[in-house]
Structure 1
């Protein structure tokens, strides 16, 4: 078999790494024998690999088949954990993760900019405005204090958002692990 086919099979095996070893090896052997048989019948290797398609998609089909076959062997507790996992993490994650990440990193960046603006304005750069309210500006000599207070508040929001983002991602990982069938943890 050529290096191209070997690379295809290696990528397929890598994509199937979540399956039990025996099933992963069976799938790779099945595709390897399919390629060898097609070559014996006169098909070109590039045509055979093109017909098989992307190894990631092929691996996904094998994984789906595996989990569908396992479905009949799941106990009631496994099914309830799986339902709980999808109910608690599905749509909620689509909203929570991007919002917390945006707040955490956006506010963190803004806190750094606020502190930098306070330092620069303290040394006499007049084009940086620090207004408390419309028409009420912070005096230049108080720029650093103002920047520390506002930057600290914004930085604290960023810190807690990042902290709770990490906790939420840990929660998702734990929920995923508990949703796996009993024998696969």
Structure 2
């Protein structure tokens, strides 16, 4: 049995249980107030990222993300696909890139572009959004009007850059960096 020594004043690493895949029968009812501002704090093993969410522009998408975050859906899941210079993808509790929330919802396209630090929905084609999302490392304008942009990082681009590169197809045994939790603030 191995024991880890923690000296006075040091914190032991936070133990977060693995994500438990949950599924729902349909997209959540609209519960956000599009007149309010929403931010998401994405706490990871490498630090925290804070994103402003575009509730007024893409209400269904933000409502979905807020609902899943508040349900703890993302807690303990990983960034299962991280391609430096492109994007980091998370939101799949199975860690394979194949999991979701059990339902799909329509795309919402606005004037928001895939600039660096943008949060956008991962999908498998038109109107197949569920739970998976990605954050861009650099502008990816080839994704505009194919994936719904729903937020942008206002803090933590340095944390994004620290995420460990990962491709679940090349090394399915390697677990990506964990999302400890996502908390939502409403103002």
- TM-score w.r.t. the length of structure 1 is 0.19
Q: Hey, which of these two has a bigger chunk of strand by percent?
A: 2
Q: Hey, which of these two has a bigger chunk of helix by percent?
A: 1
Question: Which structure is larger by alpha-carbon Rg, 1 or 2?
Answer: 1
- TM-score w.r.t. the length of structure 2 is 0.18
Structure number with the bigger relative contact order (C-alpha 8 A, sep ≥ 6) is 2
